[in-house]
Structures are given as C-alpha cells and as structure tokens.
Structure 1
Amino acid sequence: MQVVIRTDASVRIGIGHVMRCLTLAASLRKNGAFVQFVCREHPGHLCDYIQHQGFAVQRLDAVQRSEIDESSQQGYESWLGDSWSRDADQTSDIMSRNRSSVDWLIVDHYAIDSRWEERTRKLANRTMVIDDLANRVHSCDVLLDQNLYANMEGRYRSLIPESCLQLLGPRYALLREEFQNARKNARTRSGSVRRILVFFGGSDPTNETEKALKAIKRLQQSDILVDVVVGGSNNRRQHIEALCSQMANVHFHCQIDYMSELMAKADLAIGAGGSATWERCYLGLPALVVTTAANQVEVTEAVSRAGALIYLGHFEQVSAQTIFDALLVLLSRLEEVSGMSRKALELMPAAESGGAEYVAGLLMK
C-alpha cells in the first residue's frame, strides 16, 4: 500500500501536526504500507527529523513572501507558505511520479480545504483529513478529529460528504507507541507534587516556558524536581537551557523521544493545549494549562470542564505570577490534584487498541 502524507511544521505552525502524522505513519508502516511525507521547508520544519524516523520526505521549497499573493490569503490559509493551487499542483506532481498508484492521501493542515483536496483527488484512490477546526469544507473519505467538543457529532455535518466516515473524539487520539506501553502502568496520582514537567510544545513561540520557570523559582522548594522539555525548533532553547542550569532541581531536555517516561514520572504538568493534552490525559497526568493558539482554547475549556486539568487562560492573560499562584494553591490540595489525575484517565479509555493502531488498521482494509 502506498500512502502520501501532506503536513507541515514550523515555528509558526508548531510541530503537533507532523508528530501525530508520524505516529500514524509508524503504525501504517508496521502494517506493511510504504509511507512518504510531503512537507514545505518553512523555518523550523521537521523534514530532517522525519527522515531520521525512516520515512521518505519530498520537500517543497520555502517561498519568498514577495512571490505569494498575500491579498488572497487570510488566517490559516497563509500557513501554507504558497497559494493552495500551486501547493496542490506540486503535491500532485510528486504523487504522479510514484511507480504505483497512491492508495491513501492523508492531509493534516489548517491551510488546506476542499479546493486543494479536489485537485489532488484524481491521483489518490482515497483521501483522509485530520482536522480539529471544523471551519472549512473538505472533500474526503475519512475525517479524523481526536479532540473533545460539546457538539462533537454535529460539527462537520455540513462540511464533508455524506459518505465520509467520521472518527471523532479522544478514543482515536494518535498517540505514539511509547504512550501505549506507558499506559499499562498508568497510575492515579496521590496528589503530592514532588516532580513537575514543563512542556509548551516544540517551538513555544510565546515563551511560556520562561514564565513557568520563573514561577517555579519563586516557590523556593528545592525538593520538587522539574523536567523542562523544548523542541529543536524553539528559538530560545539556549536561553532556556541557561535558566535551567541556574536552578539546582531543574533538568533540561531538548527534542526528546522519551516524553512518556517523563510524563509517567511527573506528578503535575505545566504546558500548552494541543496534542500534549491527550498524552497527559492518557497517562493520568494533572496539568496547569496555558493556551498558546486560538484553536487550543475550545478543547482546553472542554477538558477543564471534565475536571482533567486547570485552565489558566490564554497566554496573553497569563503571567509568571498567575502560574505561581496556581502552583501555590495546588501544592496544598492533594485531593484536587488526585481528582484531576483520575478524571484524566477516565477521559481517555484505552479503547480501539490505541488510536493510531485502529486508524492504521482501518486504512489498510
């Protein structure tokens, strides 16, 4: 089976789309599929990292802003880094060079809609879209949205073909195999906070990591161990590493492949919304969450209402003082921390043999 995945990472986009696609790609490869990626070389792209995972990457050149008709691009559409039509033609050209037909084209990109999907459809037998915005029309056979919403079943009703199979909710979350293994030993936390994990995504463009570090430093509790994780696309990673080195109880980690291990050890996380929400919940890890992108807000609010995290607000309204105050309260509320852990596990039942494995098996049929 031939599979092509069109997705991107960048300082602006973040790394979440690529990382969840890599998870699905690994499950597809395990089932015998040949998977290749099509990615544009934005600043902060992960093309080299994808190749390091053993997948072929067809690279699209980063386009100079002067070459793009910016007047025709609004909002997420500008994240593509080129016009949708040229991007679709470039992707179609790549697929046409395959020795055999493409069985599945998988698209995970906020800038792509039905226009792009219709143009590439003739070169792939079937198309799958991974989305969580529900803000544009899609032309696809399968749609996956792994997030939690109040009106989950009806969000895409007018945006996809009637025949499209919808895979909706956290039970389909694309979690890496390391999380599947760690889930076997997942525990409800006691509520005592002796280890904190700080992770605000691969690029952390709003520098929430530094806010968290300042808050933790103010606690002056050297008996609490802290793991700080940043991605290779974080432009402030050297500065963050220097800050960590000044705190005896803080360990710095960059672009790691053992996140599940750190989450399993932690008693509390401080981080952003997005894909990490489901990783934390899957392992029963309570969290203080700051949203760093508009598309994270609705999901974070829903998970907060479910009792699995505490939402501190959007980054513009959150300071180091905000995080410090929340930490100070939680450290004395063991039952609340333990309750968050229990509700996080309940929110993410180990169903469908793990989201990635289930979805891969479905596509292989």
Structure 2
Amino acid sequence: MSEVPLPDCLEGQVVAFRADASLEIGSGHVMRCLTLADALYEQGAQCHFLCREHPGHLCELIEGRGYKVHRLLPRKETETGVDADFSPESEPAHAHWLGASWAQDATACLPILTELAPSWLVVDHYALDHRWETAVLERLSGPRPPLLVIDDLADRHHIADLLLDQNLGRQAADYRGLVPEACQVLAGPGYALLRPEFREWREASLSRRADKPRLQRLLINLGGVDKDNVTGQVLDALTACDLPDALQISVVMGATAPWLEDIKAQAANLPWSTEVVVNVDDMARRMAEADLAIGAAGSTSWERCCLGLPTLMVVLAENQQAIAETLDDAGMADNLGMPAQLRSLSTRWLALTRPRRLARMSEAATSIVTGNGTAILCHTMREVTQEACRE
C-alpha cells in the first residue's frame, strides 16, 4: 500500500487567531498577526480572528483585509461577578488588557473555536497563558490543533507547540521551563514577522543609503493609536531643533488615533513641509525613502532595521524598554527614552543626526533583519503539520 502524501502547504486549513488591539494595547499584536495571516492565506489557509471590542479595536481593519472577525463583547457587557478561577497573585502582569478573566475569555472563545475546528490556533496576547490555552484546547472536540504563541516577554507558562519571540537578544533558553520540552522556539529578530513589501524594498533602501546620508526626509510613527499624544510632543520638541529648512516631514498614524485631528492642526502650523497620513498601505516605501525615523520601540523596530532606516526611538510602554536599550547598546538605533525626556532633544539633535552616525546606525541595523521571518515561520508551521499527519 502506498503512503498517503503529506500536505506541503496549508491549503483549506483553518487558522484561528486570538489577538486584541485597543487604546492601551496598541495595534502591534493584531498587525503582526495580519502579516502572518496574509502569508498563510497565500498558501490557501482560511484565517479567522477572535477579538474583543475594546475601545480602539481594529475589527473593521481586519475585516477590510478579507478575514472573518468573531467579536467578543467588551467587559461591561460580559457576565459580572467573581470568577472562581481568578487570583490576582497568579495573573500575568498584563491581565487587565483582556477585559475579562482568562476563564471568561476561554468560555467565550470555546464555542467559536469548536465550530471552526481550526488546524492551528495562534495566540498573541500578553494577558493569556497556559491556563487559557489548556481550558480551550482540552475542551475542543476532535484532534487538538497545534498551538503557536507569539510573545515578547518570556514571563509566563504556555503549552505551545511552537513559540515565536522576535526580539533582539532573546534566546530559546529564555523559555526553558515556560514551555514543553518539545516546543520549538524561534527566537530573535531574524524571525520578525514582516510583510513581503519590506523584503522587496530592502535592496533599494540599502542602495540609496550607500551614499553619504543627508537629512531631507523625516518619518514619524509612534504606533497606530498613540493614546497619550506622544506624536504631538515630538512635533513640539522638533520646533526647538536645528532642522534643515527644506526638510520634509511625514507623520503616519492610525485611523483610531484619538489625537489625529489635533496632530493635523499642529502639522499645518509647522515651518517645514509636513504631511499627516492615515492607515497607509505603503509603509515600506515610505521607510525606504526616509533618511531618519522617530518611532516607538515596538515591533516596527524590525521593519526599520530591515530597511536600514536610522531611528530615534521613544519608549511608549514599560515592555518596550528592553528593546530600546538593546538596540541602542548595539548601535542600531538611538534611545531617546520616555516621552518626558523629549524636552532635551534640541540639545542632542545635531550630535544624533551627524551623517557618519546615521551611516553607522543603518549598517548595524541592517545586519539583524533580512525580511524572511514570516516565510520561515510558515515553513515551520508546515513542518509541524506534516509531523502531526505522520502521527
């Protein structure tokens, strides 16, 4: 009897994503999941998202990309009362991001996942750990799907089959004791989830930086939400800096950013040509054509590194501090610190933007991210699927 051929792609398989965006969480978790979903869709997978409708959620954006969103009710509409499984002492540091207890969230997700019967479950959420994963996977009917966890913190247990942590300095050993021994851990920015456009623009971006850097175009992107209006603080700080008269400034924001209209008004009064654009679909081109970026120390750090874009980083949250410090120590970006420290930008500006300094920063950043991380992850997922078929 001939062997049954193993699948070499994810054709027809259902992949379920559990990820949230909000004014507090930001957009990064959903956006990197969308990058993976797009790659899986190209291989024939059907992708579904389970998202809670927090203020600032991105459900419409996900649906606009062609994916089904299963919406979970915000906290005020969920069942109230004390959850017997809730213990503040044992909760993840970001448990409040969930908008419910982990048990309530699992209960809400279970019927959706039961109906979908996914071939893969992908979880990208700082508020969820092995308890949620166990509650969901052990109660699903049929074969248990492999679990992919996307994380940045290495601060809680998971029952993952595959784990991705794309941060600089991260090693698989950091998850020892936090995941099963059989779990494959992909660690480091070489696995960063970047859209194909970044790999496509990489050569052109690096080629134009081979000449002596000149500061003509400044790109500002402090995340899709920027609930604390750090963008406005950056623009204020720039007015005290010695910038070229012909400088062109581009500010990229998300449609749900609460300070969007204020930023547009502020930009209109700047002495430099300044545009404010929303929900762009050509970020790689914009980064490739920029000479310097001022950006958050989050997942977009790897996009900028891939294109060799020199960056002044602003730390918007405690969990970004380690990324900012590591990139700064390696000479791949300059860490401006927390928003309150922007007041000193004018005194540092000329030193930070010296052509030779920008060139060194670009060269160092380019070495750590090639843009192949998404393809590597998809390949690994196929291997895990094939192994499951053999069993």
Give the Å deviation of 1:69: 4.8
Provide the residue aligned with 2:266 in structure 1: 243
Q: Shift in Å at residue 131 of structure 1?
A: 0.2
The residue aligned with 1:323 is 345
The SS at the match of 1:32 is: coil
CA distance in 1, matches of 2:15, 2:81: 29
Counterpart secondary structure, 2:313? strand
Is 1:6 aligned to residue 18 of structure 2?
yes
Aligned-partner Cα distance in 2 for 1:115–1:82: 14
Closer/same/farther in 2, CA of residues 307 and 20 from structure 1, 3 Å limit = same
Q: Please name the residue that 1:254 is paired with.
A: 278
2:194 equivalent in structure 1: 175
TM-score (norm: length of structure 2): 0.87
Partner of residue 69, structure 2: 57
1:291 aligns with 2:315: yes
* Conserved? CA contact 2:166–2:186, under 8 Å: yes
Q: Name the counterpart of 2:110.
A: 92
Aligned-partner Cα distance in 2 for 1:43–1:323: 32
Q: Distance in 2 between matches of 1:95 and 1:114?
A: 17
Question: Which letter does structure 1 place at the counterpart of 2:244?
Answer: Q
- Quote how far apart the aligned CAs of 1:221 are: 3.2
Distance in 1 of aligned mates of 2:341 and 2:277: 24
- Where structure 2 has 5 or more consecutive residues not aligned to the other structure, the ranges are 1-12, 384-391
Q: Tell me the SS of whatever aligns to 1:179.
A: helix
Q: How far does residue 355 in structure 1 lie from its aligned partner after superposition? A: 1.1
2: CA distance between counterparts of 1:43 and 1:28?
Answer: 28
Report the residue type matching 1:81 in the other structure.
G
The one of 194, 200, 205 aligned to 2:227: 205
- Aligned partner of 2:255 in structure 1 is 232
Asked whether the equivalents of residues 68 and 82 of structure 1 are also in contact (C-alpha less than 8 Å), the reply is: no
Q: Deviations over 1:112-151 (max 9, x none)?
A: 00000011113342111000111100111000001112x6
The structural deviation recorded for 1:226 is: 0.6
1:161 aligned residue: 180
Q: Which runs of 5+ in 1 are unaligned?
A: none
Structure exhibiting the larger radius of gyration computed from Cα positions: 2
Equivalent position to 1:270, from 290, 294, 297: 294
Aligned residue for 1:186?
205
Describe the superposition over 1:280-301 as per-residue Cα deviations: whole angstroms up to 9, x where unpaired: 1000001111110111111111
How big is the shift at 1:185? 1.6
Q: Partner of 1:102 in structure 2?
A: 118
Distance 1:171 1:127, change over 3 A: same
Measured in 2, the distance between the counterparts of 1:327 and 1:358 equals 38
The alignment-based identity, stated in percent, is: 39
Q: How far apart, in 1, do the equivalents of 2:377 and 2:122 lie?
A: 12
Kindly tell me the number of residue pairs found equivalent between the two proteins: 356
Whether 2:131 is the aligned partner of 1:115: answer: yes
Picking from 348, 358, 361, the partner of 2:369 is: 348
- Look up the equivalent residue of 1:338 and give its one-letter code: A
Q: Does 1:25 align with 2:37?
A: yes
Distance 1:31 1:297 in 2: 36
How far the C-alpha of 1:200 sits from its partner, in A, is 0.4
The one-letter code sitting in structure 2 at the alignment partner of 1:102 is: P
2:35 alignment partner, SS class: helix
Shift of 1:364: 2.9
SS in 1 for 2:336: strand
Match of 2:94, SS state, is helix
Alpha-carbon distance between aligned partners in 1 of 2:80 and 2:126, rounded to the nearest angstrom: 21
Deviations 1:144-198 (A, max 9, x none): 001112x623211010000000011111100012212111322136332111111
User: How large is the RMSD of aligned CA atoms in angstroms?
Assistant: 1.8
1:335 aligned onto 2:356: yes
Partner-residue secondary structure (3-state), 2:47: strand
